[in-house]
């Protein structure tokens, strides 16, 4: 694999190379250019699997960086027939103006551009994910060409954590676990996993976590089913954020799902010239053991106060409440005030909605024997009515992860 870095900031190049070395990319496979012109010369002479471009980039040596430097290089690469096109392109910048000016062009080509800064870590994980995808594809192609079968031992896994979002959900889970998570990859599998050993009293438990390649029911179901088949966990846990029913819960409150379903399952029919939706969902119910532990936690006011007091960064005005209630899932983001009034008719005690919980639960339900139990805890960060407060998302990810760890502790000690 060959990688070209186009960046005139030495400190950022050092950080990028650190990520590449962590992914076991050899220094000989990395080429660095400091200007767009130098990068273009490299691309004309050689093929690179991955191109990493700074958005705030000088065109030539001696010139000052400009806001469109990275985008101009991207356009030149795409319109020229004298350039060997890289398989993947990643944009990185610490300049917010350059980031805003480049997002549309990168999105149009299905590439991603990320902000780099002292408090920003998401770009490192996304870059690692892209590299692992390329390595997995390369290893698979080599295996196919040699007609060999690679047998890789799968690690022991008692608990599988699934998060929809890398940041803030998975990063918060890593933090609240208090563990050191190691990156885990397998030949032929583009996904990135993290593994660790978690301590619960005197018991050491093997755990693997992952985030979805994208949000939604399909991604959640397929990805979770694959991971269950690979690792055969005893318990699958999903943490993160969701929308809540206004008036019945507050921002920051947590929901432990005792029941989940796809609220979009059913059929549309026409009655008296009006199209109506007739729901016909399948339901997935949490085990009695899991519901019992969730109920215990919902009554543990001391624990909730402790978690609230120890929460980092922004927190809501009051200690959150933990509810055990139905949580519905749907394929699309909901952001209008009439949503809950329609969907609540499917289950009058429904308290929240997300885009993945049912798929994770159903993957457990349909898994090869022995099927794992599932546990879903999510925190309310909006009301699906058009109002948003992004500050609450980090707290919601923290509180759901911390409650999940507490629930696992009680499950194991029973």
Predicted confidence (pLDDT) per residue in 321-358, tens digit: 999 999 999 865 555 455 555 566 666 688 999 999 99
pLDDT band at 116 (very low <50, low <70, confident <90, very high): confident
Spatial CB neighbours of 101, under 8 Å, sequence gap ≥ 6: 55, 67, 68, 71
Same domain, 252 and 181: yes
Do 199 and 92 lie in one domain? The reply is: no
Is residue 203 situated within a structural domain?
yes
d(CA 161, CA 156): 14
Task: Identify the residue whose tokens are 């989940």.
Answer: 260
Confidence (pLDDT) at 160? 98
Q: In this structure, are 263 and 391 located in the same domain?
A: yes
Examine the domain organization and report whether 112 and 180 are in the same domain. Answer: no
Number of domains the chain is built from: 2
Compute how many other C-beta atoms are within 10 angstroms of the C-beta atom of residue 275.
8
Residues in a beta bridge with 193:
184
Residues 6+ apart with CB under 8 A from 80: none
Query: Do 71 and 135 sit in the same domain of this protein?
Result: yes
Q: Domain residues for 7?
A: 3-146
Gap between the Cα atoms of 107 and 40, Å rounded: 21
Q: Which pLDDT does position 73 carry in this prediction?
A: 87
Average pLDDT over residues 107-114: 70
Using the 3D structure, point to which of 146, 180, 195 is the last residue of a domain: 146
Asked whether 48 and 2 are in contact (CB, 8 A), the reply is yes
pLDDT digits (tens, 9 = 90+) for 363-383: 999 998 889 999 999 999 988
> Would you say residue 154 lies in a domain?
no
Last residue of a domain, one of 117, 146, 175: 146
Check: CB of residue 82 under 8 Å from CB of residue 42: no
306 with 168, same domain: the answer is: yes
Q: What is the pLDDT of residue 75?
A: 83
* Among 413, 354, 339, CA closest to 169: 354
pLDDT bucket at 393, cuts 50 / 70 / 90: very high
DSSP class per residue in 268-301? EEEETTEEEEEE---EEE--HHHHHHHHHHHT-H
247-281 per-position pLDDT tens digit? 899 999 999 999 999 887 766 676 777 766 666 67
Residues 194 and 268 in one domain: yes
Does pLDDT of 139 surpass 90? no
Neighbours of 155 (CB within 10 A): 14
Residues 180 and 236 in one domain: yes
Contact 15, 116 (CB under 8 A): yes
- DSSP H or E segment with residue 239: strand 235-244
Residue 132 is predicted with a pLDDT of 79
Looking at the structure, do residues 140 and 171 belong to the same domain, yes or no? Answer: no
168 pLDDT more than 50:
yes
| Total residues found in the chain within this entry | 414
Residue 379 has a pLDDT of 97
3-state secondary structure of 305: helix
Q: Stretch 390-413: mean pLDDT, rounded?
A: 94
Average pLDDT on 149-159 reads 67
The CATH code of the domain that includes 343 is 3.40.50.1580
DSSP track, 26-82: -GGGEEEESSHHHHHHHHHH---SEEEEESSB-SSTTSPPBTTHHHHHHHHHHH-SS
- Tell me, yes or no, whether 408 lies in a domain: yes
Do 91 and 111 meet the contact criterion of CB atoms below 8 Å apart? yes
CB atoms within 10 A of CB 200: 15
Same domain, 110 and 15: yes
Same domain, residue pair 201 and 332: yes
* Whether residue 181 sits in one domain with residue 130: no
293 part of a folded domain? yes
The domain boundary residue, chosen from 146, 168, 202: 146
Report the C-alpha gap between 161 and 163 in whole angstroms: 7
């Amino acid at each position: 694999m060959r990688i070209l870095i186009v960046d005139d900031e030495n400190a950022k190049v050092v950080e990028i190379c650190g990520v590449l070395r962590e992914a076991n990319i050899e220094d000989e496979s990395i080429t660095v250019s400091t200007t767009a012109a130098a990068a273009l010369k490299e691309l004309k002479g050689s093929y690179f699997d991955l191109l990493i471009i700074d958005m705030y980039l000088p065109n030539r040596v001696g010139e000052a960086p400009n806001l469109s430097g990275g985008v101009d290089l991207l356009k030149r690469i795409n319109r020229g027939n004298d350039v060997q096109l890289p398989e993947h392109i990643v944009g990185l910048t610490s300049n917010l103006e350059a980031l805003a000016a480049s997002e549309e062009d990168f999105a149009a080509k299905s590439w991603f551009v990320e902000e780099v800064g002292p408090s920003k870590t998401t770009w490192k994980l996304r870059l690692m994910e892209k590299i692992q995808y390329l390595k997995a594809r390369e290893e698979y192609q080599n295996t196919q060409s040699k007609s060999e079968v690679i047998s890789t031992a799968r690690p022991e896994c008692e608990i599988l954590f699934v998060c929809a979002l890398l940041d803030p959900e998975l990063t918060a889970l890593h933090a609240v676990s208090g563990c050191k998570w190691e990156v885990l990859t397998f030949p032929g599998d583009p996904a990135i996993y993290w593994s660790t050993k978690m301590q619960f009293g005197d018991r050491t438990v093997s755990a693997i976590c992952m985030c979805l390649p994208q949000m939604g029911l399909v991604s959640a179901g397929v990805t979770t089913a694959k991971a269950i088949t690979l690792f055969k966990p005893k318990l699958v846990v999903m943490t993160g954020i969701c929308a809540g029913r206004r008036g019945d819960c507050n921002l920051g409150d947590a929901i432990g799902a005792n029941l989940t379903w796809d609220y979009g399952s059913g059929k549309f029919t026409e009655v008296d010239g009006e199209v109506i939706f007739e729901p016909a969902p399948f339901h997935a119910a949490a085990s009695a053991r899991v519901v019992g532990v969730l109920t215990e936690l919902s009554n543990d006011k001391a624990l909730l106060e402790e978690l609230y007091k120890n929460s980092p960064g922004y927190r809501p005005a009051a200690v959150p409440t933990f509810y055990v209630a139905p949580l519905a899932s749907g394929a699309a983001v909901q952001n209008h005030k009439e949503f809950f009034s329609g969907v609540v008719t499917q289950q009058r005690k429904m308290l929240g909605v997300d885009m993945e919980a049912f798929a994770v639960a159903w993957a457990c339900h349909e898994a090869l024997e022995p099927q794992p139990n599932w546990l879903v805890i999510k925190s309310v960060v909006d009301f699906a009515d058009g109002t948003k407060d992004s500050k609450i998302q980090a707290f919601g990810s923290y509180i759901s992860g911390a409650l999940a760890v507490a629930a696992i502790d009680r499950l194991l000690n029973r």
